[in-house]
Structure 1
C-alpha cells in the first residue's frame, strides 16, 4: 500500500482544520521510507557522489537489500531489540543503511558526527551504551582510543578502510559478505524506540534525545510546507548538513524517502559554495536544506543562475533568523527560488514553518505552526497560554497524536520531567506569536550558542579549555558574526606565571579541536585578569554578555 502525508488544501487555514494523524495499521519506520513504494527496483533513492569523482546510484530495493544484510550481520554480533548501535559516518550509503538495519531489528541507532573528538564521542557512546559502532575509517582511531572507557562496546565495523580485519576492527564489506538480502522484521511499530540524538550539552552533559519509529512521519507536514507542497512527482533533495544531526536525517533524508524521492549524498569537508552549486546542477536538485551560513557563503558567488543550470525551486533553512537580504538574493540571483525559514529543536522539530504559497514570508519570523501540531507561547512556570504579542516560552503539546515530540532524555527522568508543564513540552526558547499567527524568536532561555547552524553548549567548551595547563578559569558565550550568526568567544583567566599571547590562543583552540567537534573551538579568545563570578564561584555568563554589549 502506497501512503503519503499530504497537504492538499488550498489554504493554510483549511489544512490546519482538516488534518488528522492517521498512521496505517502495521506502520514501522522501514516500511515508511522503503517498503511502501511502487517499482522499488527502478525508483532511485540515493545519488551518491564523492569528492574524487566517483558516482553511485541506489534504488529503494538496493537499500532494502543492503540494510537487510546489515541487520543480519548486526544480529550475528548480538544486536537485538532495544540494543544501541553508534553510527559515526559522513554522507555515505552505510550511514542510512545502518539506521534502517537497526530499525528492522527493533534496535536503536545513535547518529554521531565525524567531527567529534575523543571526549564528545566517548561520552555519547558510553552514555548510550552502544554495543556496536559503525564508523568511517577517518574515525577508527578515535573510536579505538575511547573503546576502553565504553564497557558495552564489543564490535567496531569500519567503512572505507582496509579489506582485511585489523585487530578488533572489521571491514564493512566483509561484515556484509555472505549475508542474506532479506530479513524477517522484528515486531516493531510507531511506538518502538528508534533513535537517540544527542543535544549540544548547553546545561551540563549532552542529553540523549530518544525518538520513536513514528517520529519520522511527524516531520512530513513541515517538509511539505517549506518545499512548497510540491514534492511527490519532482523533488530531488540535497543538504550539506551532517547526517549525524536530526536537521539532516529528518529534514532531508528520511522524509524525502517517505515520499519516494531521491536524496543526494556527498561526504564533503568544509562547505564550498561552488561545489554546492555544481552538485545541484549535476543532479537536478529541486529542493535543498541549507543552513544560513551556507546561504551567506553562496551569496558571494557571482551570477550563479548564469553559470549553473539549476532546477532549484525551494530552499529551507533554520537555526537562526533569516534576514530580508537572503530572501531578496534568492529571488533575484536564483531567479525566483523561495527561501522558507523553519524552527525546531532536537526534542521537537518543525514547530514553526514558512510556506510562501500559503502565506507571505515575514523576514525574521519562524513562520506558522504546521497542520497536526499544537504550539503556543506559555508561562514557563504555570503553562498558561499567553496572549499575542507577549513574550514567553515556546511550547508544543505532547499529549496529542502528533509523533514529533521526543519520548525522553535517555535515562534522565528528572531532566525529562523538567521540560513538561501540564500538556506542554517547553523548548527553553523565548518568543512571541503575533496577531496573524506568525511566531517570532526572541532569546534562548539557556546559554546555548548557535554557530553556523550548530547548537553548542558553552559548558562543554569551557571544560575543554580548562584542560590547558595555563588556564585557571574560563567563561564562554556566543557573539554576533555576519557569516556564522554567532561565533564562540572564550574569556580566559590564566594561571599565575602564564603570559597571554597569540601562540597561547592557538594552543587553547587546538585543545578544544582535539577534544570536541571541530566547530566547537573558540574563534575569539580574550584574556582577562579576573572573570565575573557568582557567590558560589560560577562564571557569570550574563556579565560577560553585558561586557560585550549584548544585553
Structure 2
C-alpha cells in the first residue's frame, strides 16, 4: 500500500516514535503519481507558456501523454534498464519524459538546461544514455557533443517536425503518432529509477543511482516541511528551482502528484521577485519551495502582503543555510506564512528539517531529524559519536535502507566509503547538535561550494578555466556573498605576463558559463604569480580561503 496522504502527527516526538516506512513491493511511480487518485480528471499541472498563454494538464492528460512517449521510446529500441536523459526546463515534457521512462522500466537522468557542453557531455557519456529528450535551447550543444557520447542513439527534441532539424525526433510528432495503452513495467520499490549527478571536490561529478523508493522518501519529507498540509485537490505548489534538482523534482513536483496536488510550471531564464509574487497570486500558490537566494531576492520587494493577494501558507527552503535575517523577515512581513528550512543530499534524501506545526523554528538551525531517520554527530577522525555541543560530521541512518541511494554509478569504492561499519551514512557536512536536538550547520568537510542553492565542485571549474590558453594554473574556492551565500572566486596564474586583466577576466567567466553552467562562473577572478600547492603539486584551496 502507498500513501495518498501521509499520516499526520500532533507532535514531533509522536511522529518519531510512531512513523514507519510503508514501502510497497509492487510500485511504479508513474502509476502512483497519475492513477491512484479518486479523481484523475483534476488539474495536476498548470503551465504558463513563456510567450503567453496557460496550459492545464489533468492526471489523465499526463497519463495519456506519457503512455504515448513510452510507446515511442520502446519503438526506438529503449529497453528496461536503459538510461534516458531529460534536459528540459519547467515544461510539461519534463515530467512526461520521466513518467514514460518508468512505464518502460528505463532509468531517468535528470539534467538542467543550464549545463554547458562539458557538463552535458560528461553526464550523458558516463551514464551511457541511449536516448535524450532535449529542449531546443540545448540542441546545438547536444549535436556538438554527440560523437563524444558513443551510446547516445536517439535525440528527441521538443517541438514539431517543422522546427526540429537533423536526425532528431520531434516530440510533438511522437505524441501524435503513437497511441496510449502501453503495458506499464511491473516495477518494485527497488527498481532503478534515476541517476542524478552531484559535484565533488576531488574528482569528476558522481552519478548517484536511486531506486523508485526515492520518490516515496521525498514525498514523505515534503509532507513534513510543508507542515502536513498537502491536501489532494486543494494545495498548489510552485518552485523557481530547476526541475533537474532533487528537491525540486522529487520534493516539490513529484511530491505534489504523489499527494494529489497541483504544481505550477513556469520556465524562466532568471528570477524576478515582482514577477514571482505576481505568479503566486495568479495561481493561488499555497506551498512554495524557495532556495535561500530566491528568498533574499523576495525581500527586496516592499510591502508584499499589502500589494499581493497571496494564499501562501508555507515557504520551504534548502540548498544552503538560511540566515536569521531571512527567517525574521518572513515572520515580520507576513501574518500567516511559516518558513521551514530542510536539509538533504542527492544520495541520502531529505532527512533533517523544520516543521512549524511541530516545533518553533530556530533561526539559523537546520531543524531536527524527520521521522524515519536517525541522526548522529561523529568525530571525523575516530568515527565515535559526539555529545551535544560538539562539532562533528553529520551521519544519518534510515529506518528503511531503500529510501537512500543504491550506489555511486560505476564507483563501488566510493559507494562503500559513504557508509561506516555501523551503518551510518556520512554527509561530509560538519554540524553541531544542541541539547534540544536541533542541528546547526558549521561547514563542509571538503571544498564543495554552496552558491545560490547549488553545490559546485571546484575541480570542474578549475578544469574549465584551464581550457583558456592564457591560463597556467587555477584554484577555486567559495567566499562569503550577501545574496548567494557563497560566491565562486578563482585564483588564476596566467601563462604569460602579457595579458589584459579585465579582458582575460571576462573571457574566463564566459568560458566557464559555456562549458559548465551559468551558476558555476567565477564572480571574482584574481590573478596571482603563483598558487600554493602541496608537495605533490595539488592546489591548497584551504590556503586560498584562509587568505581571504
**What range is the shorter-chain TM-score in?**
over 0.9
Question: How much does 1:50 deviate?
Answer: 2.2
1:200–1:456 Cα contact (<8 Å) kept: yes
Question: Bigger CA drift: 433-442 or 20-29?
Answer: 20-29
2:317–2:339 Cα contact (<8 Å) kept: yes
State yes or no: 1:447 paired with 2:451: no
**Which residue pairs with 1:405 in the alignment?**
404
Counting only pairs closer than 5 Å after superposition, residues 218-297 of structure 1 correspond to structure 2 as 218-233=217-232, 234-297=234-297
- After superposition, the C-alpha distances for 1:333-377 in whole angstroms (9 at most, x for unaligned) are 233211111111111121211011211111111001111112211
**Which residue pairs with 2:81 in the alignment?**
82
1:367–1:438 Cα contact (<8 Å) kept: yes
- After superposition, the C-alpha distances for 1:352-411 in whole angstroms (9 at most, x for unaligned) are 11011211111111001111112211234554322212211111115x315331110111
Counting only pairs closer than 5 Å after superposition, residues 42-191 of structure 1 correspond to structure 2 as 43-160=42-159, 162-163=161-162, 166-191=165-190
**Which residue pairs with 2:483 in the alignment?**
483
Runs ≥4 residues deviating over 6 A: none
Q: Are residues 52 and 165 of structure 1, via their aligned partners in 2, closer, same or farther at CA, if it must alter by over 3 Å?
A: closer
Aligned residues: 546
User: Equivalents in 1 of 2:383, 2:93: separation in Å?
Assistant: 43
| 1:374 alignment partner, SS class | strand
| 1:388 alignment partner, SS class | coil
User: Equivalents in 2 of 1:73, 1:162: separation in Å?
Assistant: 15
User: Equivalents in 1 of 2:487, 2:127: separation in Å?
Assistant: 29
| 2:369 alignment partner, SS class | coil
Question: How much does 1:426 deviate?
Answer: 0.6
Question: Bigger CA drift: 43-52 or 452-461?
Answer: 43-52
Counting only pairs closer than 5 Å after superposition, residues 329-478 of structure 1 correspond to structure 2 as 329-397=329-397, 400-422=399-421, 423-478=423-478
1:110–1:197 Cα contact (<8 Å) kept: yes
User: Equivalents in 1 of 2:463, 2:222: separation in Å?
Assistant: 37
2:43–2:57 Cα contact (<8 Å) kept: yes
- After superposition, the C-alpha distances for 1:260-301 in whole angstroms (9 at most, x for unaligned) are 000000111111111111110111000000010100111001
User: Equivalents in 1 of 2:163, 2:282: separation in Å?
Assistant: 35
**Which residue pairs with 1:544 in the alignment?**
544
**Which residue pairs with 2:327 in the alignment?**
327
Question: How much does 1:424 deviate?
Answer: 1.1
**Which residue pairs with 1:14 in the alignment?**
14
- After superposition, the C-alpha distances for 1:176-214 in whole angstroms (9 at most, x for unaligned) are 222111210112110000001100233210001111111
1:373–1:402 Cα contact (<8 Å) kept: no
User: Equivalents in 1 of 2:137, 2:450: separation in Å?
Assistant: 26
1:28–1:214 Cα contact (<8 Å) kept: no
Question: Bigger CA drift: 511-520 or 323-332?
Answer: 323-332
Question: Bigger CA drift: 490-499 or 186-195?
Answer: 490-499
Question: How much does 1:221 deviate?
Answer: 3.0
2:471–2:492 Cα contact (<8 Å) kept: yes
Q: Are residues 306 and 390 of structure 1, via their aligned partners in 2, closer, same or farther at CA, if it must alter by over 3 Å?
A: same
Question: How much does 1:5 deviate?
Answer: 4.8
Q: CA RMSD in A?
A: 1.4
Question: Bigger CA drift: 21-30 or 261-270?
Answer: 21-30
1:505–1:525 Cα contact (<8 Å) kept: yes
User: Equivalents in 1 of 2:225, 2:393: separation in Å?
Assistant: 24
Question: How much does 1:26 deviate?
Answer: 2.3
State yes or no: 1:196 paired with 2:182: no
User: Equivalents in 1 of 2:109, 2:476: separation in Å?
Assistant: 28
2:292–2:320 Cα contact (<8 Å) kept: yes
- Tell me the TM-score normalized by structure 1: 0.97
User: Equivalents in 2 of 1:51, 1:302: separation in Å?
Assistant: 26
| 1:339 alignment partner, SS class | strand
User: Equivalents in 1 of 2:525, 2:160: separation in Å?
Assistant: 38
